[in-house]
Each structure stands twice: as C-alpha cells, then as structure tokens.
Amino acid sequence: MYHHYHIPKKELPLGAKPLGKMAVTRGYTCMNCGRCALACVYKVHERSTADPRVMAEPNSYLCKNCLKCVETCPQRALTVRISPDYEALGEGIWTPTRVTTIWNEAQNGKLPVFGAGYRGMFVGPGYDSMWTDMSEIVRPTRDGIHGREYISTTVDLGARVDHLEFDPSGMLLTKMPKTVEVPLPIIMDVCRIPDIGPKSQEGLIKAASALGTLLFIPAETTLPADLGEAERCLVPVFTSGLTSVRTISSPRMVELEMFPTWKEDLVALKASYPDAVIAVRIIVSKGIEELAVELISSGVDVLHLLYDEQGREKGTERLAKDSLLAINESLAKRSMREKVSILASGGLAAAEHVPKSLICGADAVVLEQALKVALGCHAGPNCPVCPMIDSTIDADFAYWRVVNMIGAWRDQLLEVMGAMGIREARRLRGEIGRAIFYEGAERDAFANISGGA
C-alpha cells in the first residue's frame, strides 16, 4: 500500500518567554499612557494583569524592531536594542541568528522567512561559500514551483552495484549488496553526548522511529525492554574489543569506531552481524582519501565522516566542504564511489547545509549539535546547562522539538531541490555542476584583472 511520507508537527515553545533578538526596556519617565500598546501589533507592550493602571514588563522576545513604539511614546521612555544575551549565543559558524532560527524551527516546524530585510552574511567559511543553482525557480508551473511532480528525499545507504550480470538464461548473477533505505538524508547521532539523560534519549529514539531515519547510539547503551519497532532505527556503535556486545537483536546497520586495531575489529563485527550494513566512523584528518580507499577495499559499506562542530578536519585547516569534494573526487577517479555511502557530520548549523553537504559528495548528513540546539542548547561557551543531559527534560518535549526541526529542514530541502529542478535526493549527491563556489566565482571575476594569479 502506498504510504505518503509526511512529518507531523506540533507547536512547542522552549519556555514561557524565550530569548529573542531584541531587548525592549521602559524607562522611569513612562506615565503608563498605553500608547505603545496600541502602536505595537506584536503585543510586546501590555498592561499588567495584576494592576491594569501600569504597564507590564515588555515581552521583548516578540519584538520585531520596527521602532513604532519608540516613535509613538510621548515620554521618550522606550529603548529597543539588540539583547546582550542574544549576542552571547553560539560560537563561530553557530551564530546567534542560526541558534535562534533552529529554536524557532524546533518550536513550530516552519521554514524561516528572512525576506528582503535579510541582513545576514552572503558568504562565509565552508558550506557558506557555496550557493545552489536555483534557476528552475524562475519556471514555475501553474501549480507553483514544484508543479505536481513528486520530489523524493529517500536515500539508500550501503554499497551499490554499477552494473548487473545475467547468465544466458536471463538469471541475475550479480549479488545485490545490503542497503538501508531512509526516507530523508538526515540521520541522528548521540555517541558524542556521553551523559545523555534517559528522557532525552527516549525522545530521540521515538523521533528517529517516527521519522523513519536512523539514530547512532553506543552499542553498550542500556535500552528500555519494550522498544518494539523503534529498535529498527537504532545503529549500535562499537568500540574496539566490544564487537560481540548485543543489546539490539538484529540491527540493519552496525558501526565501528576507528581504532588502530580496526582490521581485526572489522572482521569480528562482520562475523557478529553478517546481515547488517557495515559502517565505520572516522574523525577526519590528513590522509582521509587514502584511508577511505583502504576501508572500502576491506568491505566497509558506509564511511561516517566526523568533522568538528565548526565543520573542520582534525589537525588541518580543511573544512568539510573541501574535504568532501576531495574525497568524492578521489573515489570517483578510482571508480570506487559506488562501492560506499558517505555520511557527513559536524558543521551542520543550518537547513541549507544539508543540500550543500550532499552536493559536495555526502549521501546523507548526521546531526549532533543541531539536536542539542533544538532542545535549547546555546551552542557556545555561554550555554547554561546541556539540555541533553538535563534530567528534567521531558521525553515528549525532546521528541516534538527534534521532529519539528527535522521536518522544517526536510521542507527546506524540498524547496531547494524543487528550485534546482532535482526530483530525487539520490541525484543531488556530487552535483557540483549545480552549485556556485565562491572561490570559482572570485577566480572567474578577478583572475584576469589581477594578472591571472
């Protein structure tokens, strides 16, 4: 029976008064005339419910910085400025705008609208130095940008065959490799959150199951006994010497952490899980192209590449964008690209980073920090308490906030693919011809002027 993939969403705010961009303050000269309440359509200014003769504290988080109230106030009592708490959010590529954008996506599952008033950056490091070719957006059909065409975000993880062989009677001779199909190229990972609270973990397992995606989890994790169907979304991650641990009965995929003894560990893992897709997680550093070839030759089906949360390789200056492009090209030149799937994690701070990562060569992305931000993390040194380890977090809260955010990211992927004229996420992988890279654009524009250098 045909099943239409749909992600249900539910409005769920972070708290009663979340942190917004603006701080609105009312000075002592206020005479409680209430004109600001009439001027502000966003309900920042309201009378106190306890004593309607006076104005309540402004609901700063609702302010859109239009300055109408400031202009209206006869007493010049109002000040609107960027909140210092907002400016302290995030670090590096995790800008305050990105952190609050994820908070909003996790709250309502809607696409962010920046519009003509967008005053953010248009170029930055890594994925922010590339743009997708949206030329199809100027050719809308009568049904809108996407028309009636179905856009699939489904991807297959594992090795693929590049040709089929048949015997003279027409029987298929090629042994089809194992693959895991996921309905969206977004996977979750909690292995780098060692003290994750049981409720957050429960919410994330539920979210992965509802989304039909996968969740990487340490193999030795104690799991609830009644997981049922949700167990299918779990990918146990094994460290050296623990390849026979079995907390999940028949996982579709298993993953090995790279250790100096990986060759022996890999043999043991394959023997323990002969029916599972085999993945290896690697902290990406110098020499990754050669290591990828060696791993594929050893029968690894999925390379899970870990960049840090700023999207950097370990010990080098190379960013995920350039690293993925180099790995993809190196494997394609050796005719090995179809023998493996690539998962990219780290440096994924915005929905647009998903299609960009795929264009650079990933088959799917793996979210870690974005999951924390969805639950309220500040993504920087000023985060008060990690919501993932906060035992007071409710499982339903974790579930809906993550489902909302991933739902919004998938909607944005659909928008980008529709505008690019690409109807299948599988075809987005490595489509560098459909992207503009800052370095290339700069070279094309200025190379001749600066003498071809």
Give the integer Cα–Cα distance in Å for 188 and 235. 10
- Return the range that interacts with ligand SF4 (CB under 6 A); candidates 29-37, 198-206, 401-409, 426-434: 29-37
Cite the beta strand spans of 323-419 per DSSP E. 341-345, 364-367
Residue 56 engages ligand SF4 in binding (rule: CB under 6 A) = no
Residue 38 engages ligand SF4 in binding (rule: CB under 6 A) = no
Give the integer Cα–Cα distance in Å for 135 and 435. 11
Residue 23 engages ligand SF4 in binding (rule: CB under 6 A) = no
Torsion over CA: 153, 158, 159, 160 (sign): negative
Could you say which of 23, 73, 302, 417 contacts ligand SF4 (CB under 6 A)? 73
What's the full length of the chain, in residues?
453
Question: Could you say which residues in the range 136-165 bind ligand SF4, by CB under 6 A?
Answer: none
- Return the range that interacts with ligand SF4 (CB under 6 A); candidates 64-72, 293-301, 346-354, 442-450: 64-72
Could you say which of 7, 14, 19, 39 contacts ligand SF4 (CB under 6 A)? 39
The separation between CA 275 and the C-alpha centre of its own chain, rounded to angstroms, equals 29
CB of residue 48 to ligand SF4, shortest distance in Å: 11
Exposed/middle/buried for 103, CB within 10 Å: 0-12, 13-18, 19+? buried
Torsion over CA: 85, 380, 7, 400 (sign): negative
Cite the beta strand spans of 184-276 per DSSP E. 186-189, 215-218, 234-238, 253-257
CB of residue 75 to ligand SF4, shortest distance in Å: 4
Backbone dihedral region for residue 109 (phi beyond 0: left; psi -120 to 50: alpha; all else: beta): left
- Return the range that interacts with ligand SF4 (CB under 6 A); candidates 57-65, 93-101, 331-339, 380-388: 57-65
65 vs 272 by CB, closer to ligand SF4: 65
Residue 46 engages ligand SF4 in binding (rule: CB under 6 A) = no
Closest CA to 87 of 97, 102, 72: 97
40 vs 186 by CB, closer to ligand SF4: 40
Could you say which of 35, 110, 426, 443 contacts ligand SF4 (CB under 6 A)? 35
Phi, then psi, of 130 in degrees rounded to 5: -140, 155
Residue 80 engages ligand SF4 in binding (rule: CB under 6 A) = yes
- Return the range that interacts with ligand SF4 (CB under 6 A); candidates 33-41, 112-120, 289-297, 312-320: 33-41
Residue 9 engages ligand SF4 in binding (rule: CB under 6 A) = no
Six-digit token string for 12: 């769920």
Closest CA to 91 of 360, 373, 356: 373
Residue 93 engages ligand SF4 in binding (rule: CB under 6 A) = no
CB of residue 87 to ligand SF4, shortest distance in Å: 17
β-strands 364-367, 341-345: how paired?
A: parallel
Could you say which of 13, 18, 33, 431 contacts ligand SF4 (CB under 6 A)? 33
Rounded-to-10 torsion of CA 429, 435, 438, 440: 100
Residue 42 engages ligand SF4 in binding (rule: CB under 6 A) = yes
CA distances, 321 to each of 160, 175, 195, 324 (Å): 24, 34, 30, 5
Residue 30 engages ligand SF4 in binding (rule: CB under 6 A) = yes
Say how many residues touch ligand SF4, by CB under 6 A.
28
Could you say which of 63, 186, 196, 233 contacts ligand SF4 (CB under 6 A)? 63
Give Dmax over CA atoms of the chain in angstroms. 94
Residue 310 engages ligand SF4 in binding (rule: CB under 6 A) = no
CB of residue 255 to ligand SF4, shortest distance in Å: 48
Exposed/middle/buried for 114, CB within 10 Å: 0-12, 13-18, 19+? exposed
Binding residues for ligand SF4, per CB under 6 A?
Answer: 24, 26, 30-36, 39-40, 42, 44-45, 55, 63-69, 72-73, 75, 77-78, 80
